[in-house]
Structure 1
Amino acid sequence: MSSRVPSGSGSTVPFTPKPRKRTSSSRFSLNDRELNQFVGTLASVRRVKPNAILEELEQSGEGSGLLARADGPSSRERPSSSAQTQRPPSNRTSDRAPSSSSAQPPRPSSSSSRHRDVPRPSTSRAAPIPPSASSSARPTPEQESRKRNGKLPERVAELSLADGPDEVEEGRELEGVPIEIQEAWICEDLLFVLQGVEGSLIRYNDDYDPLDEEQASKGARWKVDPSLDPSLLSLVERLLPLATYFTAVEASMESRNSPEYGMVTHALSSGIRAMLKEYRVLTAQLESLFLSSPTFTLQTLYFHLHPTLHTMSLLAGLCLTLESDEAGQDTSDVSDDDDGLGGMAEELGLGGAGLKGLMKNLKAQEGLIGGGGPVLGGEVLGIICEREATMSGDPTASALHSTLLLHASQPYCRMLVRWIATGYLSDPFDEFMVKESGHITKGVLESDYTDEYWERRYTLRDGSSLTSTKVASGKGTPALGAGVPPPRPGSNRLPGGACIPGFLQPWKHKILLAGKYLNVIRECGIEVKKPNEVGEEEGDGMVVMNEPKFYKRIEDAYIYANKTLLKLMVEEQELIPHLRSMKHFFFLDQSDFLTNFLDLAGTELRKPAKATSLVKLQSLLDLAVRNPASSSSNDPYKDDLKIVMQSQGLYEWLLKIVSKTGSLTEDGELDFAMGDGHEDEGTRRSEKERTLLAIDALAFDYSVKFPLSLVISRKTITRYQLIFRFLLHLHHLESALSSMWLEQKTPSWRNNCGNEDMEKWKSRIFSLRSRMLSFVRQVLAFATGEVLEPNWRALESKLAKVQTVDQLLKDHVDFLDTCLKQCMLTTSKLLSIYAKLMTTISVFVSYQSSLNTALNKFLADPVGESEPTKANSRWTALNKFEINFNHHTKLHLDAVTYNAGSENVALLALVTRLHQTTLRI
């Protein structure tokens, strides 16, 4: 599209015409008064000498027409400034009468009264006044300075000195105005609109309210005077989105100034404000160029601002993303009517901003629990990283997001570096990936040596751990654990500090462990760096987190903390000797002290568990352990061994564990619900009625101090106790069956009584006792010789080469879990059959006195006891034992054989032993 130029030129120019070179004013045919009036018309538009435009207008013959229009509303004399201040503002518009030479319909005002309160710079908004009105006005110091410096043409400056902030034009009439003048006016308007201020030709849209926070966060919407030349309107509409983006970014920064948004958000706002400052500098330079250069055009303005348009759109998109994520929950300010007290807060003297702020914070906290709340901390960095990855093909977007990430990550970086270098965590707004449970202290460990300090005091906010990465199947959504907030509505991103930036995801466990190691070291009295020393080392420069140099810093901190703590545990705290001592006592590899203890405490152990004296048992254990003839007398940690009584039998306890209905409580004790489907109601009732003997409830405990309590924790002690009770039961049954064998070697059992039926009965008892004793010995030999000892040697070889504390913890727990599995204590079906088999043997041993009574009665009265009724009674009891033992032995062998071929290869050795025993018998 082209526009008409003076007839003398005879050619066309682009749709944004450039004024011709200035010429001397002597070529004008206007007198001084007409020239002053015309210059005053342009003074509010462009602070340059309009010689070039007037020259073209004179040559084209349009100057007189323009002057005639200038004599209209914009050039008529106004009252003096003193009189004007006394006139009501509402009459200013009505006082302007349209000129008779250019009668045009009045331009409707597009802005409501609320828009008139928006401040506008008066230097480019004042309407021209005639010389008579300006002669009485005194220039301001700023105007005098601009005049002296040559920033305003002298004549234009004199004509505009009296203009005040109240003399703002409501609009301009564009019909019949040359395109050059329209261009000058629209350039001036754009320079204000680009700063978020309404102009004369560009106003806020009718449905836009700048006081509405929700609308302001999306940016101002504009409308242009429809009478503007279409060639100019095209370029204006291309530039208006820049003003919309700018207002959206500015509103977003203003709304995120409150403290609850955290330090990362404030650092991001600082980086964005630095970019907005550059934008303002650019617009100021363009305004200066507009006021001083005669060749400045709308095309020039578009050329300089076009690159900024894309950058500002990226900033607005980022702010909109932050706002949309927070919109998942309503955390807006409390309205006047919604004060939380039914609108009676003011009457109670509780109204005002304080109460509203409190209600807002409460709503924000509720929103955070429900997956909403403010976007802060790691989530801000995560959003920037996601947008950078999504727009990686755009160099401008990559550079912008890299710069913003650098600014926003500095508070997060300081928290991270301080954590991995000193173990000190300062996170007042819950922005960091690591959270602290302040109620868990070292003092708790002194009374109850659990590993809760290690596992729960410092954890990752996303709920992940080294042993299990909690992700749900299918969509990759993080599984929700205790204390882990739900993801943001509509996304898989966790809120706040629970969102770990993508570039730190592979390092999150090392970051967590480095600080945890240093905290343990500090608790042991070893000095580590102080937080202020780390700050001095960092200096004032900005740290780039997503680069190999920073990753190496994390790795070095982790290696230092790990080696220091490992050396402390293994060398100074003598961890390996402690583990050997526990193996000696709990695994009964040298059971001479246990045999001595069972002999000394036999009477006490046959009592019910609730009637047993722990003090007496502890004294007897000390005597057995300190016996010079015992191998345990030289153990340096024998004083750490204690006697405890469990509340349940071993196999009932184990069945509830493997049924997966129980868990460890905070106190480290096993708290289990009843098994599902493994026992009927009658069995459970009989267990409650059955008296638990001390021998079945007996267990050892072991006490260690911090930091060894992190390795020898309550959970590991529980595993040791399960293995110990399993071995103790086998030892007790072996001892009881051996005692039964010694008792059955007496003459009353060995001598032939002359009754074939009784001799057959005694022979069957001998055979059953021998089979039971052989079974118990085979299981005991398998557990000690082919499970515990080989696994212990494997653990020792691993501990000799261990490099990290967590690997040490993992190896220790894996060793215990492997022992439990290979001892048949973790498979529900196998354990159930084994428990019934052990119960049958135990009842048979306890039935020895009844067998002796039946034999003695027969020897005293052979004829009477040979009656079919009494003989059948003896055989009925024996047959029940044989049937039960044979049935459960066969089931057990089948179950062991099946598990050895499918799940537990180590049981092949037990299968071989049991087959050989069966064939031999």
Structure 2
Amino acid sequence: MDPYTPRTRPGHRKKNIGLSTKEYTKITSTIASVRRNRMSTQQNDAEEEAGLDAAIANESSFIAEASFVRAPLNSRVVSGGIATGYGQAGSHRTNHREQRPEKYAGAQGGSSGKGKARQDSLDSVPLEIQEALILEDLLFVLMGIEGEYIRYHPDYSPEDDDPLRGIEFVINPSLDPSLRDLVERILPLGTYYTAIYAFVEHRSHLDYGLVNHALCAAIRDMLKDYQTLLSQLEHAFSTSPVFSLQKLWFYVHPTIHTLSLIYHLILELDDTGSSNSLLSDDEDEEVRARNKALGIDDAALDELGAGDSSSSIYVKGGEVLAIIYERMQNMAGDPTAHTIYNTLLRAAGKPYVEMLRRWVTTGKLVDPYEEILVKESKFIDRGILEMDYTDDYWERRYTLRDGSTSSGSKRHLTGVPSPRSVGGRLPGGACIPPLLEGWKHKILLAGKYLNVIRECGIELKMEDKGEDIFMDEEGFYTFLEEAYSYANKTLLNLLLKEQELIPRLRSLKRYFFLSQASFLTHLLDLSATELSKQSRSASIVKLQSLLDLALSNDARGEDALYKEDVKVTMASEGLYDFLLTVVNVNGLIDGGEERAAAAAEQQTTSGKRDKGMLAIDALTFDYTVKFPLSLVISRRNIVQYQLLFRFLLHLKHVEMSLSTMWIEQKTAPWRCRLPHHSDFEKWRLRVCLLRARMLAWVQQILSFATFEVLEPNWRKLEAKLERVTTVDQLLRDHMDYLETCMKECMLTSSKLLKAYSKLIVTCSTFALYTSSFTKSANSAIQAVEETGEDTGMAKRWDILGKFETHFNHWFQVHLDCVQFYASSENVSLLPLVVRLNSVKAGFLG
């Protein structure tokens, strides 16, 4: 039997101190992704295994790890991708950390779970390996996923923190300072990316409107470029032996600036108070309970805009565009910022522009999320124009969300939300983009014009080529100008030619301003008995029949065409009390719309007719106007025509009464002489003189109002209507005409009204004493003839003295007021000053 020898021992193999060629190749194949700069080592087989460890520890390459060959992001990113940006980083990790040499297992924490806090230090890890570890973590962090040595901030809480602020990351404090500086420069990308992604996900909900949807789509496209960059960096990290932290910084440096611009934009777009109400829950519940008790519908109240506030409106629509544009302007010196913001402005403004295009070309407002500058009040329709004195369809059906009007009126600010801060921008659609600020009125009017035409049953649509246009292009404003011109020209032609607006206005002027005085004189003669009754007792049906008869006899030409539209009605309040109430409520009103609106509202809210008012004092006309002419001749305008008509009618009636008194004073009691009763002769002379003075004053006022106010202003209006170019100008010209007439007829000043009303009432009351004076004269003559004595002269003088005192006092007050206003505010009263001074001089000289 052969002796036992090592060579023949079973299972014996040659003992080698080092690695075989096959084993060495297998190990080195796992270092394909790192730099190879091996140090010279001794090739002694006895020390080869120990030398391998020393070589790995000292080589200037990344740690040999099979996981580096694989895609590291693919190994960590869970289903849902950046859902980890909300704090749900991929909880599962591969076991590639276990494949690392045990020597570095402790430095890496020795655990694959991300939730376990890392207390291990990198102090004992070579610089090259630190760079490899931190570089891998950075590729994770740039996707919003925390790594082994770059973790979420200790204070970060997914439930409590605002995801739109992004996730803050912190670096292991043991990282070498030379690497830390570079990592801290790259680290904000993770915060930017998580915030931007959260913004895109959050603002893509329907409640935020179409502009936000388009903005999120544009930002999502930019994030795709960022994600493509990360994929390329990952590939370089996995395959390039020379990929380093410095190269990563080189590639992501421009991207940091780009995402920073988007990040700061979304911070400004983030409305942190959008979900908060101005009222607490208890207060809100109390308000709703009170509204319910009062029968107020909360939905209707919201429709009126009474509950609008900046805290209840998302940052959407025009406000989004305004913020982007302002940031672009503020950073105009940065080419990158200008490019980024201009791209986002165009993308976000596309649905805004499309809604505007539909509005200005068809008159249809399609704005489901209340984003554009035009607002529709759906509860107002054209039918209200024919029954509600306080309505102004043209002004309130479609308005600008910021509450501004072309006339500068502040009446329609009820539904305008408050600014987000003192002096700040309005929220939501009420914020008009700066690019459209100078065009907002034309945009509003273009759609309103077409909408009126549609209400008449005429479907029009401006030819639109359908080309993409952007808010910052010159072609967009050319398009708006063309749309406005088309809509304006079409509606103006409809009103002036097809609807015959000017003949309608001419007939109104003739019926209400006594230009056709013959029919009015005829009417007053026919209805004298009925008009002498109390207003509540007068028969409107009978008065309407008498008006139709008077118009049938006197109306000719155009007047005959529209006589059926004139109706008799009774006012519920005396003219001067009504005007004084309106003026006292609004102060010394010199502006048109406020006075007209107040007058219309007062007319509507007046109660039953004054029981002590005569029918002649309450008589007025109404005028029926159909749509669309009711936009120009609105109920508010009709009220002003009625006020002027009652003013002139009262003057005409007093003139006729004083003229009748003159006829009465030509009878025997006033002509016979009593030589022995000089006191009676003086009394009769004073009565006639006072009647003549009153008649002269009334005639001068009536003549001034007719020939120096109404007629000249009508001629000016006709001249304007001949050359009018826009519908809005047409409305303003008509309103200005009525306002000027009201002002120059002294119906807008409380002092002038008070003095005038006292005078006119004194004159009308004096005229009512005609029969009493005649009866008193007969009594005096009879007493002298029978007894030779007259005991009633003291009473006669007392009554006459009161009339003279009242008339003289208020005549002087009225003259002083007219002179004051003629020299300070209303120079058109200068001719009346001359007329009144001539009356005064003629009877006192």
TM-score (norm 2): 0.83
Alignment CA distance shift 1:202-1:469 (3 Å) = farther
In the alignment, is the contact (CA less than 8 A) between 2:513 and 2:710 conserved in 1?
yes
- Cα drift, residue 510 of structure 1: 0.7
Match for 2:89 among 103, 118, 126? 118
CA distances 1:774-824 after superposition (whole Å, capped 9, x unpaired) = 111111111111111111111111000000000000000101111111111
Match for 1:178 among 106, 126, 151? 126
Q: 2 CA distance for matches of 1:53 and 1:210?
A: 44
Find the counterpart in structure 2 of residue 260 from structure 1.
207
SS in 2 for 1:481: coil
Find the counterpart in structure 1 of residue 3 from structure 2.
none
Q: Structure 1 residues 415-424 or 380-389, which shifts more? A: 380-389
Find the counterpart in structure 2 of residue 520 from structure 1.
452
Find the counterpart in structure 2 of residue 719 from structure 1.
640
Q: 2 CA distance for matches of 1:866 and 1:503?
A: 95
SS in 2 for 1:459: strand
Alignment CA distance shift 1:631-1:39 (3 Å) = same
In the alignment, is the contact (CA less than 8 A) between 1:451 and 1:711 conserved in 2?
no
SS in 2 for 1:420: helix
Q: 1 CA distance for matches of 2:87 and 2:651?
A: 94
In the alignment, is the contact (CA less than 8 A) between 1:858 and 1:866 conserved in 2?
no
Give the superposed CA RMSD. 3.7
Find the counterpart in structure 2 of residue 508 from structure 1.
440
SS in 1 for 2:36: helix
Alignment CA distance shift 1:221-1:689 (3 Å) = closer
SS in 2 for 1:538: coil
Find the counterpart in structure 1 of residue 276 from structure 2.
330
Q: 2 CA distance for matches of 1:366 and 1:444?
A: 21
Question: Is 1:191 equivalent to 2:128 in the alignment?
Answer: no
Alignment CA distance shift 1:168-1:825 (3 Å) = closer
Residue identity over aligned pairs, in percent, reads 50
Alignment CA distance shift 1:411-1:319 (3 Å) = same
Question: Is 1:65 equivalent to 2:54 in the alignment?
Answer: yes
- Cα drift, residue 270 of structure 1: 0.9
CA distances 1:128-150 after superposition (whole Å, capped 9, x unpaired) = 1689xxxxxxxxxxxxxxxxxxx
- Cα drift, residue 693 of structure 1: 0.5
Q: 2 CA distance for matches of 1:247 and 1:56?
A: 46
Question: Is 1:738 equivalent to 2:659 in the alignment?
Answer: yes
SS in 2 for 1:670: helix
In the alignment, is the contact (CA less than 8 A) between 1:421 and 1:557 conserved in 2?
yes
- Amino acid in structure 1 at the alignment position of 2:551: V
Q: Structure 1 residues 882-891 or 850-859, which shifts more? A: 850-859
Find the counterpart in structure 2 of residue 580 from structure 1.
506
Alignment CA distance shift 1:230-1:376 (3 Å) = same
SS in 1 for 2:585: coil
In the alignment, is the contact (CA less than 8 A) between 1:388 and 1:398 conserved in 2?
yes
- Amino acid in structure 2 at the alignment position of 1:436: E
Alignment CA distance shift 1:562-1:699 (3 Å) = same
Aligned length: 765
Find the counterpart in structure 1 of residue 530 from structure 2.
604
Alignment CA distance shift 1:497-1:297 (3 Å) = same
Find the counterpart in structure 2 of residue 563 from structure 1.
489
In the alignment, is the contact (CA less than 8 A) between 2:33 and 2:238 conserved in 1?
no
Question: Is 1:538 equivalent to 2:466 in the alignment?
Answer: yes
In the alignment, is the contact (CA less than 8 A) between 1:701 and 1:717 conserved in 2?
yes
Q: 2 CA distance for matches of 1:281 and 1:891?
A: 88
Alignment CA distance shift 1:33-1:225 (3 Å) = farther
Q: 1 CA distance for matches of 2:713 and 2:821?
A: 19
- Cα drift, residue 253 of structure 1: 2.1
Find the counterpart in structure 2 of residue 80 from structure 1.
none
SS in 2 for 1:610: coil
Match for 2:583 among 648, 658, 668? 658
In the alignment, is the contact (CA less than 8 A) between 1:205 and 1:223 conserved in 2?
yes
- Cα drift, residue 736 of structure 1: 0.3
Q: 2 CA distance for matches of 1:888 and 1:450?
A: 35
Question: Is 1:299 equivalent to 2:246 in the alignment?
Answer: yes
Question: Is 1:395 equivalent to 2:335 in the alignment?
Answer: yes
Q: 1 CA distance for matches of 2:100 and 2:327?
A: 53
Q: 2 CA distance for matches of 1:312 and 1:115?
A: 18
Question: Is 1:272 equivalent to 2:209 in the alignment?
Answer: no
- Cα drift, residue 737 of structure 1: 0.3
Find the counterpart in structure 2 of residue 140 from structure 1.
none
Find the counterpart in structure 1 of residue 319 from structure 2.
379
- Cα drift, residue 668 of structure 1: 5.0
- Amino acid in structure 2 at the alignment position of 1:706: F
- Amino acid in structure 2 at the alignment position of 1:378: G
In the alignment, is the contact (CA less than 8 A) between 2:310 and 2:426 conserved in 1?
no
Q: 2 CA distance for matches of 1:694 and 1:466?
A: 41
- Cα drift, residue 178 of structure 1: 2.5
Question: Is 1:369 equivalent to 2:309 in the alignment?
Answer: yes
Find the counterpart in structure 2 of residue 706 from structure 1.
627
Q: 2 CA distance for matches of 1:57 and 1:544?
A: 69
Find the counterpart in structure 2 of residue 549 from structure 1.
475
CA distances 1:403-427 after superposition (whole Å, capped 9, x unpaired) = 1111111111111100001111111
Find the counterpart in structure 1 of residue 194 from structure 2.
247
Alignment CA distance shift 1:491-1:236 (3 Å) = farther
- Cα drift, residue 920 of structure 1: 2.0
Q: 2 CA distance for matches of 1:517 and 1:865?
A: 83
Find the counterpart in structure 1 of residue 560 from structure 2.
635
SS in 2 for 1:861: helix
- Amino acid in structure 2 at the alignment position of 1:407: A
In the alignment, is the contact (CA less than 8 A) between 1:249 and 1:319 conserved in 2?
yes
Q: 2 CA distance for matches of 1:904 and 1:576?
A: 28
Q: 1 CA distance for matches of 2:342 and 2:749?
A: 54
In the alignment, is the contact (CA less than 8 A) between 1:174 and 1:228 conserved in 2?
yes
TM-score (norm 1): 0.77
Find the counterpart in structure 2 of residue 205 from structure 1.
153
- Amino acid in structure 1 at the alignment position of 2:405: S
CA distances 1:235-292 after superposition (whole Å, capped 9, x unpaired) = 0011111211111112222222322111111111111111111111111111111222
In the alignment, is the contact (CA less than 8 A) between 1:423 and 1:514 conserved in 2?
yes
Alignment CA distance shift 1:490-1:603 (3 Å) = closer
Q: 2 CA distance for matches of 1:862 and 1:868?
A: 6
- Cα drift, residue 317 of structure 1: 1.0
Q: 1 CA distance for matches of 2:86 and 2:312?
A: 34
SS in 1 for 2:621: strand
In the alignment, is the contact (CA less than 8 A) between 1:664 and 1:670 conserved in 2?
no
Question: Is 1:488 equivalent to 2:420 in the alignment?
Answer: yes
Question: Is 1:437 equivalent to 2:362 in the alignment?
Answer: no
Find the counterpart in structure 1 of residue 32 from structure 2.
48
Question: Is 1:310 equivalent to 2:253 in the alignment?
Answer: no
- Cα drift, residue 828 of structure 1: 1.5
Question: Is 1:834 equivalent to 2:759 in the alignment?
Answer: no
Find the counterpart in structure 2 of residue 320 from structure 1.
267
Match for 2:650 among 726, 729, 737? 729
- Cα drift, residue 296 of structure 1: 1.4
In the alignment, is the contact (CA less than 8 A) between 2:776 and 2:796 conserved in 1?
yes
Find the counterpart in structure 1 of residue 357 from structure 2.
417
SS in 1 for 2:626: coil
CA distances 1:626-670 after superposition (whole Å, capped 9, x unpaired) = 11x555795321111111100111111111122234977799553
Find the counterpart in structure 2 of residue 786 from structure 1.
708
In the alignment, is the contact (CA less than 8 A) between 2:85 and 2:145 conserved in 1?
no
Q: 1 CA distance for matches of 2:260 and 2:767?
A: 86
In the alignment, is the contact (CA less than 8 A) between 1:371 and 1:485 conserved in 2?
no
SS in 2 for 1:768: helix
CA distances 1:338-389 after superposition (whole Å, capped 9, x unpaired) = 9x99xxxxxxxxxxxxxxxxxxxx9xx9995353432111111111122222
Q: 1 CA distance for matches of 2:827 and 2:778?
A: 49
Q: 1 CA distance for matches of 2:85 and 2:373?
A: 46
- Amino acid in structure 2 at the alignment position of 1:371: S
CA distances 1:737-774 after superposition (whole Å, capped 9, x unpaired) = 00000000001111113311111100000000000001
SS in 1 for 2:689: helix
- Cα drift, residue 855 of structure 1: 1.4
Alignment CA distance shift 1:850-1:509 (3 Å) = same
The unaligned stretches of length 5 or more in structure 2 are 1-17, 44-49, 67-83, 103-109, 286-301, 587-593
- Cα drift, residue 839 of structure 1: 1.1
Alignment CA distance shift 1:911-1:182 (3 Å) = same
